[in-house]
């Protein structure tokens, strides 16, 4: 696994006694468990922040200190339910790695949410892809939608992974450490060729500030936020909404659910089935009885 880069983790390693030993064991368990680098980065950041907050390695903190930190995530100046959730997940994994199962019992439970994904309409997608400030952003967002990519997948994409002859994209070692291929759109090839000629990226398809380095996840998210504002889209969309829209639109165009599962790289079909609730499928479509109530008046 490539060494992860995080200022927060680096700070904790330099400032907190025994943090490095604790983190190294966590990294080992992540690798042996076949989890992704993104998982290690998320867990590592959360644990590093707790360690820095108290000036002590997380495994040496008592339950009162841990719960006090978690409470602050929900009631502080910038409360974050998502960060709270990932911190609890990270703590569970850390305690399991260190054989501290008793500590896991004292952690709060995470209630599962049954929110449906936010999906953009076809018209909103067109507006969004035109709204990017620069060609790089327009191609970036269009590619994410056109191939149903996750945030980290587009950051890790190399120029050699895009086969314009076979019209396929090779996505390597993703969420479940499995490779997959997805079709490359004919129209997308036109934009990619213009982008490659104009920016001449090296190695990675989308370079960061330094040529040859990968574009950061924060940079991709920023491009999405700016394009959403410029396109006048009021829905609560995130970068992942492009992947949701890809899935819903393919179902609307008639793709079967198992083929969609494979394209998305889902391990279980149940994960893919949620898109049946948001796609506008043919046949007997849902409607409001209010429309029929006055139909003959």
| Six token digits for residue 51 | 């360690």
Active-site residue among 150, 244, 249, 261? 150
Q: What is the torsional sign of CA 88, 70, 219, 251?
A: positive
The CA-atom distances, in angstroms, between 138 and each of 8, 77, 84, 131, 147 are 31, 34, 33, 7, 14
Our answer to whether residue 175 is catalytic in this structure is yes
Q: Determine whether 180 is an active site residue.
A: no
Active-site residue among 195, 215, 246, 275? 275
Q: Is 214 helix (H, G, I), strand (E, B) or coil?
A: strand
Question: DSSP assignment of 13-75, as one string?
Answer: HHHSTTHHHHHHHHHHHHHHTT--HHHHHHHHHHHHHHHHHHTS-GGGS-HHHHHHHHHHHHH
Q: Determine which one of 136, 243, 244, 249 is catalytic.
A: 243
149, 239 Cβ separation under 8 angstroms: no
**Residue 169, SS3 per DSSP:** strand
**Terminal-to-terminal C-alpha distance of the chain:** 68
Catalytic residue among 11, 60, 92, 240: 240
| Catalytic status, residue 275 | yes
Distance of CA 265 to CAs 237, 258, 271, Å? 22, 11, 10
Q: Is 268 a catalytic residue?
A: no
Tell me whether residue 43 is one of the annotated catalytic residues.
no
In this structure, the number of other CB atoms found within 10 A of the CB of residue 161 comes to 17
| Nearest-5° Cα angle at 235, 186 to 284 | 70
Question: Catalytic pick from 127, 158, 170, 266?
Answer: 266
The Cα 91–Cα 284 span in angstroms is 47
Q: 92, 175, 180, 230: which is the annotated catalytic residue? A: 175
Is residue 266 among the annotated active site residues? yes
- DSSP E strands in 96-209: the ranges are 162-163, 168-171, 180-183
Residues that are catalytic: 150, 175, 240, 243, 266, 275
């Amino acid at each position: 696994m490539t060494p992860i880069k995080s200022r927060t983790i680096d700070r904790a390693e330099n400032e907190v006694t025994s943090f490095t030993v604790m983190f190294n064991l966590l990294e080992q368990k992540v690798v042996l468990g076949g989890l992704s680098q993104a998982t290690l980065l998320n867990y590592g950041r959360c644990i590093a922040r707790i360690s820095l907050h108290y000036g002590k390695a997380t495994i040496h903190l008592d339950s009162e200190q841990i719960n006090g930190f978690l409470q602050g995530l929900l009631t502080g100046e910038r409360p974050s339910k998502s960060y709270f959730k990932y911190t609890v997940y990270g703590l569970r994994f850390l305690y399991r790695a260190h054989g501290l199962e008793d500590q896991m019992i004292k952690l709060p439970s995470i209630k599962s949410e049954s929110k449906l994904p936010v999906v953009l309409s076809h018209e909103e997608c067109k507006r969004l892809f035109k709204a990017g400030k620069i060609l790089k952003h327009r191609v970036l967002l269009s590619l994410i939608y056109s191939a149903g990519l996750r945030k980290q997948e587009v950051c890790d994409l190399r120029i050699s992974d895009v086969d314009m002859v076979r019209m396929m994209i090779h996505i390597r070692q993703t969420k479940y450490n499995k490779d997959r291929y997805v079709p490359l759109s004919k129209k997308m090839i036109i934009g990619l060729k213009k982008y490659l000629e104009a920016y001449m990226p090296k190695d990675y398809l989308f370079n960061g500030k330094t040529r040859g380095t990968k574009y950061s996840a924060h940079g991709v998210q920023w491009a999405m936020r700016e394009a959403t504002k410029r396109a006048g889209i009021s829905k609560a969309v995130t970068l992942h909404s492009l992947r949701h829209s890809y899935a819903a639109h393919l179902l609307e165009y008639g793709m079967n659910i198992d083929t969609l599962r494979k394209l998305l790289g889902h391990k279980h079909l149940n994960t893919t089935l949620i898109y049946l609730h948001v796609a506008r499928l043919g046949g007997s479509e849902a409607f409001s009885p209010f429309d029929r109530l006055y139909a003959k008046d």
